[in-house]
Homo-oligomer: A and B are copies of this chain.
Amino acid sequence: MTKTTVYHIPVCPFCQRLEILLSLKGRRNAVNFHVIDMTQPRPDWLLAKTQGTTALPILETEDGRILKESMVLLEYLEDIYPGRRVAQHDPYRHAVENMLSRMEGDFCTQGYLYLLNQDTTRRDSLRKGVLEQYSRINRFLNEHSPSGPFLFEEFGLAETVFTPLFMRFWFLEYYEGFELPDEEKFARVRRWRDACLLHPAARQVTKEEIIKIYYDYSKGAGNGALLPGRRRSSFAFEPDWRMRPWPPQNKYEESATDEALGLIT
């Protein structure tokens, strides 16, 4: 028997969820986090574990069985470790947090589509798509938790699910100039987001790291793919992101080289 292991990409929001949940439970060190380099083909030993699928995170139990999908893994980690219960016990409250958590898929998709977009004529409709997602969450919070800031008394399951996405969406501020408008219809979700971003359990990544590492997404290349004329992905582990300059913000006008991004020194 070895320790429970999570194979993950450190900057990935779905992986960060697991780290946040474990932090809330005071169990961050109960799990071995094994880092995978997204810019390299998945190693054979990993593909053998996943039966060929490439999505991460995956979890390997102490006796070598494999589980996948962050939402499934959150529940599994909650179940196997004692400590503070992050999800609600009461059936009604748990249903409410589940309803909110299930909005994460569309929220994530809209934000990533906006970042990946290369067509200036689509920017406005993509911005509206993201705003509609925020507005939908705002309505939900106004219905179920008008006073807030969190859905319930404490940072819980829904906050664990959404906070990594709120952090990733810093890339929309930087590369698209996106800001949540200062309007009443976003007031409640803004209060929620801001409280989530301040929570000490969600400090695994920084804005600077996200901006630098997601540069290639802003130019249309996802999942560690290489852009034309480039030899290194912005997801490369070396040189460390802290040593690289901030990338250019004008994604529609400029394509930065490896050298300009500090990827080749």
Docked CA distance A94–B71 (Å): 12
A118 at the interface (CB under 8 A from B): no
Indicate if the CB atoms of A91 and B76 lie closer than 8 Å: yes
**Closest chain B CB from A141 CB (angstroms):** 12
- Min distance, Cβ A92 to any Cβ of chain B, angstroms: 6
> What chain B residues lie within 8 Å of A91 (beta carbons)?
75-76, 79-80
CB-nearest residue of chain B to A89: B79
Segment touching B, from A60-68, A180-188, A199-207:
A60-68
In the assembled complex, the CB of A81 is this many whole angstroms from the nearest CB of chain B, namely: 10
Give Cα A73–Cα B95 distance, bound, in whole angstroms. 7
Query: Quick one: CB contact mask for A48-89 with B, threshold 8 Å, 1 for yes?
Result: 000100000000010001011101110110011000000000
Name 6 A/B residue pairs within 8 A (Cβ), A-sorted: A61-B92, A72-B98, A72-B102, A75-B91, A76-B91, A76-B94
Q: A72-B99, A79-B91 are in contact. List 16 more A-B contacts (CB 8 A).
A: A51-B139, A51-B143, A65-B92, A67-B92, A67-B95, A67-B96, A67-B99, A68-B99, A71-B102, A75-B91, A75-B95, A75-B98, A76-B92, A76-B94, A76-B95, A80-B91
